[in-house]
Amino acid sequence: MSHNPLIATSSRPFGLPDFSAVRSLHYREAIELGMDEQRAEIEQIVQNPEAADVENTVVALERSGRTLKRASRFFFNQSAADSNDELRQLESELAPKLAAHSDAIRLDSALFERVAAVHAQLGSLDLDEETRRLVELTHLDFVMAGAALDDQSKQRLRELNQELSSLTTQFQRNLLADTNDSAVLFTDRAELDGLNEGQLSACAQAAAERGLEGWLVTHSLFTDHPYNAQLTCRESRRRIYEASIARCSRGNEHDNTALVQRITALRAERAGLLGHPNHVSAVLTDQTARTPEAIDQMIYPLAGPALANLQREAQVLQQHLDEHQLTQGEQGYPLQPWDWSYWAEQVRAERYDVDTAALRPWFSYEKVLVDGVFWAATQLFGITFGERSDMQTYHPDARAFEVFDHDGSLLGLFIHDVFTRDSKRGGAWMNNLVDQNHLFDELPVICNNLNVPKPAPGEPVLLSMDEVVTMFHEFGHALHGLLSEARYPSLSGTHVPRDFVEFPSQVNEMWITWPEVVNHYARHHETGEPIAQEVLERLETSKTFNEGFATTEYLASALLDQEWHRIAPGAVVEDVMAFEQEALERIGLANPLVLPRYRSTYFSHTFAGGYDARYYCYLFSEVMDADTVEWFKENGGLTRANGDHFRRTVLARGNTRDPLESFRELRGRDAEIAPLLARRGLSAQ
């Protein structure tokens, strides 16, 4: 093991391993060694003859498992961003072992007795705010994990957790495989009319990489493919859409329907063991929403106004479609779900003179990243970036940037991995390879992953408006990790409740069209010409256009997630698709023109991604986000003073205190919902 690059002390920057030397056997060795080490560390805590105190129990627990945490971070980053059959098999093998290891710690009666003893003394202990928070959350974590249960219940809980770990891993494996398998091949370029040369190049490249002739359209994680907003051929749109919504429900070896049934049943049983009526109630215990009633009061009521907006939009699109067919002498047909995005863009172009697809030449990847994302962060926080092209990362496409504070001191490392590939799971996300913390004096290493189609060599990388939004959004998460100032790694950066973690990332989206920022990065990739001011004004004017669609497809998924996880222990779902349809009807969001952003069988967030019963969090966080955007506007916008205030009150604090207290210090009060309703065009409802 001395030759294992994940275990041996590294002299490389930030302590990163030699990725070129890492093999799957190294991950296995390091993770298994890490589990052994942490078990020994826990035994030392339990066997300590001294009375339990903060340092010898809670902080000692925080210090434990360093090898395991390091190896696991690198492994799961690799398996998500650049996997292969060997890594996927290893993930399936390790998942239940890691679940069992976690349970062995959190269900250890002797260890919980010491943690509980420290927690009971909190009222009399003289502790700083962050350490007090660590004690409170450590105790809550043990209670939520079932540490107070009897031995028989604990054993059943272990069995449930191990099986769930295996099933959620299998769900993600199936989704990656079926997403790849259901990519749509076109052999006639005319079928892809409407796509630009860069997109066609990416499709041709994707086909060539699989040894196919033609143009291959690989799926995004969403139900509706971004290309459907541009494709003029209705049949092509239909083929892509129907392939997308059929993923993991086609009766093949990658079908996820049985997994959805089993995962939800096991989660409900586990919630019952822990004394909760359903999984939602159990999960929300440590979230900022706290109870299902909060979701009932804030999120569910938005379904009616959203659907009303959607229905008005559908009438406009159908009218536009009818008029088009009449002028073309075509036989009329009703609007279908694969038509929505295309005709929405036609109406947007006509009503607001905005063609978002035509804006791609102004959104070159390099300019957006360096002169947009990075530049805005420099203006706000004084931080700067230096690319380390000499630094090897886990994949040749992943770029490394050192990040420096306003005083020139090193803050951390940022890794940007933008291109899609068959070995990468869909969607976009942020990973912490190393958490900022003062306990071990470690600087953060943060990754952003996107899925932008990679054009052929020599072709420009031009982004869609949605991809620009995603880049700014994910970098908001990165800032949360990079600007953290925590002592304890478990309270650092993005280690906050799920329904708060999206707040800083959503705030960072505000700079996309902020005049100073957009004029700095939105330059034509050939001429350098800035994007026209009138185009930006029309984009601003059109912001609430199609919000009925956007809100409805998101809410349909968020509330579908809630419905799946409000199943009572022992309840049986016989038919996944029937349950989905009945749930949407019950919620009031069953509309054949707009399916959920993610249907059940490819809903990775909830069945494999840690957002189970918490996909509502994007909208919950957006309440704070929209209110914060108003604060920035009221106080002068893109200034160092505003950035420093946001950094000090929110980003630096992570979970070192109740995140809602961080918001109150930022805003001077609790969040108000009015800015969100106005943003989404729901104010008049």
Sign of CA dihedral 315, 318, 324, 330: negative
Beta-carbon contacts of residue 85 (< 8 Å; ≥ 6 apart): none
Q: Which of 69-100 are b and which e, b meaning 16 or more Cβ less than 10 Å from the residue's Cβ?
A: bbbbbbbbbbbbbbbeeebbebbeebbbebbe
End-to-end CA distance of the chain: 64
In degrees, to the nearest 5, what angle opens at C-alpha 233 toward C-alphas 228 and 237? Answer: 35
Tell me which of 345, 474, 502, 553 is the catalytic residue.
474
As beta bridge partners, residue 437 has 442
Q: How far is CA 533 from CA 508, 516, 519, 537, 539, in A?
A: 22, 12, 9, 6, 10
Report the 10 Å Cβ neighbour count for 161: 22
What CA–CA distance (Å, rounded) separates 290 from 574?
31
Sign of CA dihedral 328, 316, 546, 359: positive
Own/partner pairs for 407-412, CB < 8 Å, 24+ apart? 410/443, 411/383, 411/443, 411/444, 411/482, 411/483, 412/14, 412/436, 412/443, 412/444, 412/445, 412/446, 412/481, 412/482
What CA–CA distance (Å, rounded) separates 232 from 192?
8
Strands 445-452 and 410-419: parallel
Report the 10 Å Cβ neighbour count for 126: 6
Burial class (CB in 10 A: 0-12, 13-18, 19+), 583: buried
209: annotated active-site residue = no
Tokens linked to 265:
């049943």
Give catalytic residue positions. Answer: 474
